[in-house]
Amino acid sequence: DNEVSKEVEEEYEEVNLKGTTPLQTFFAIFKGNVGPGCLSLPWAFSILGIPLGCAITAVITYLVSYNAWTLVRLKRTYLKDGKRGVTYSDVGERAYGTKFRIVVDLSVILLQMAVCTIFISNMAENTSTMIRHTFLSSASTSAYTSAWQFLQHERVIMTILLLPACTLLSSLPNLKALAPSIALASVLMFASFLLIGYIIYHDWSHGYQNYQNSNGIPIQWSKVPLATCAIMYALEGDQLILPIEAAMMHPRKHFTKTFVWSMAGICLLFCVFASCCVVAFGFVDDGSITAFLVGRIHNNEGDNVVLVVDDDSLDDAWDSSSTSRIAFLANAVVSVSLLFTYPLQLFPVLGLVGQIVARKQ
């Protein structure tokens, strides 16, 4: 048995000689977790406060990492039978039987469908926020009331309008066809973080002073569970751990260290990003930081755009001719990025449903 297991392991390592390097694996894990879910972190930290927010982020990152690593260990045990391409459902079936495979299938489908629902909701929220503020800032006084009544339902309308585009992109047949969409979404997401970073830099001095004067942000204990769920949702790449590990060159030698360092870096990035947003902007009351930044813009007089904020000093620091345009641009970039990321999130559901149908046949 030991000789057979050794032969299988050597064959497994030989198959992956052309796999990804530790550095490439590091960025694959990093990229899989740093996505649109990060945009809700500033809201979560506004509920939890920075110290508690960082602590909960660290704990959740550890739990998610431990669970992911447990799946990798189970997969390696299952691999001793000589089988490759092991999925979550395969691991569940091997551990607890055929009936448990159905539980895993349903869990993965429901999870990914929930993520896709959030994606569409965020796209609709971001897009409708831009349209609402752009339209109302240029609308005449006589048209203001009727326009506002129409835009009361703008999120529902934008969701309906976005569905055909999401459906069309989801019809791509395989991951190879999705590759350009995924690459474009990654570039757009990176660009949005750069734009948000510029706004943080622009507001930092006044925001930091206000944060010190207010002695931080009080914890809203009634909303702590919901904020914790938002942090958990931000770690959206756990479902990719098995294929990433399988694609690595010599995974048994290098994957453990690479995985630990990547998850530690992700945890640090989440804490720094959310904390900086809370310090620079104050209390973030929107689940999308880009929608929040656009929401701060309001038309007070003619075409002069200023920001509605609680503190006058922060309002004075805002440059309406440049930073407000960057906020609109960041929101638009995030919306497009979500649109092109949506098919990747739906793809596992389509593949799993196809497998279920094939097994029944």
- What pTM was computed for the model? 0.74
CA–CA dist 49, 279 (Å, integer) = 10
CA–CA dist 88, 108 (Å, integer) = 9
Beta carbons of 231 and 44 less than 8 angstroms apart = yes
CA–CA dist 86, 80 (Å, integer) = 11
**pLDDT tens across 161-197, in order?**
777 877 777 776 665 666 677 778 778 888 888 999 9
What's the confidence (pLDDT) of residue 45?
94
**DSSP state letter for 19:** S
CA distances from 28 to 33, 105, 215, 308, 337 (A): 9, 24, 39, 40, 18
Beta carbons of 158 and 123 less than 8 angstroms apart = yes
CB-side neighbour CA atoms (13 Å) of 265? 15
**pLDDT tens across 277-322, in order?**
999 998 988 878 887 887 776 533 334 444 444 444 444 444 555 7
Q: Average pLDDT for residues 212-228, to the nearest whole number?
A: 88
Beta carbons of 48 and 224 less than 8 angstroms apart = yes
What's the confidence (pLDDT) of residue 292?
84
**DSSP state letter for 40:** G
Q: If we measure between CA atoms, which residue out of 30, 316, 7 comes closest to residue 193?
A: 30
Extract the runs of DSSP E, i.e. beta strands, from the chain: 297-301, 304-307
Strand-pair partners of 305: 299
**Most confident region among 84-98, 114-128, 190-204, 285-299 by mean pLDDT:** 190-204
The two structure tokens encoding residue 103: 């539980």
CA–CA dist 255, 141 (Å, integer) = 62
CA–CA dist 128, 181 (Å, integer) = 23
Beta carbons of 324 and 73 less than 8 angstroms apart = no
